[in-house]
Structure formats: structure tokens, C-alpha cells
Amino acid sequence: MPNHIHGIIVITGAPERATSQSPLQSGPTRRSLGAFVGGFKSAVTKRISELRGSPHTPVWQRNYFEHIIRDEDSLNRVRQYIFENPARWEFDRENPLATKPEAATAWSS
């Protein structure tokens, strides 16, 4: 869909242990998923602003959704979802040309 992005990020290496101490810096921990997403959004925003000639125009919604893929079946389901997702644009409530927009409660649990 043209209004959001999906991706699969593979994290390798030994996991860092959580501590009960407060970090001395603000913002995401270095080399964390939050730092990766923040860096990606920053780089893309800079490039979009250059192309549009409109600095300081918001590009992203706040935050992001993450899901941990723990096995091959889950990975295959996520890949299929990402592959099929663009075909759902005609149902997206944020699409001004949606032919069959989903109800606001379609994804509520």
C-alpha cells in the first residue's frame, strides 16, 4: 500500500541482557530495533524533503508496530501478508479512492 511500509529485519548476534538501571542517554539504545527504525525514518524523511522541496513536513506516524517471528511457519505467514498487502489498498479507509473501505472496527480484537 502506498501509505505504509512493511519489512522483515533479521537481528543476529548475542542478545543484550535487560537491566534495572536507567539509561544515561535519551532515545533508543544504540544498535537496537528502535535505533534502526529511527535511523531509517530519518534518512527517508531527509530524502523525501529534498525531493519535495518541503523541509519539516511530517512524513511518518509516531511509533511503529513490531512482531517477533519465532519460527519458519510464522515467517512464511508474514511474508505472505506482506506480498498480498498491496492488493488490499482498495479496502483501506485512508485511500480516498477506496471502492470498498473496511469498517473502522475491521481489525479490532
Q: What is the pLDDT of residues 38-67, one digit of tens each?
A: 999 999 999 999 999 988 888 888 888 899
- Collapse the DSSP code of 79 into the 3-class scheme (helix H, G, I; strand E, B; otherwise coil) and give the result: helix
- Share above pLDDT 70 across residues of the chain, in percent, rounded to a whole number: 83
Cell numbers for 61, please give them. Answer: 506516524
Which pLDDT band, with edges at 50, 70 and 90, does 1 fall under? Answer: low
Which of 59-63, 69-73, 98-102 is the most confident on average?
69-73
- Share above pLDDT 90 across residues of the chain, in percent, rounded to a whole number: 34
Give the single-character DSSP code of 21: S
Contact 63, 41 (CB under 8 A): no
Contact 69, 59 (CB under 8 A): no
31: left (phi over 0), alpha (psi -120 to 50) or beta: left
Q: What pLDDT does residue 27 have?
A: 72
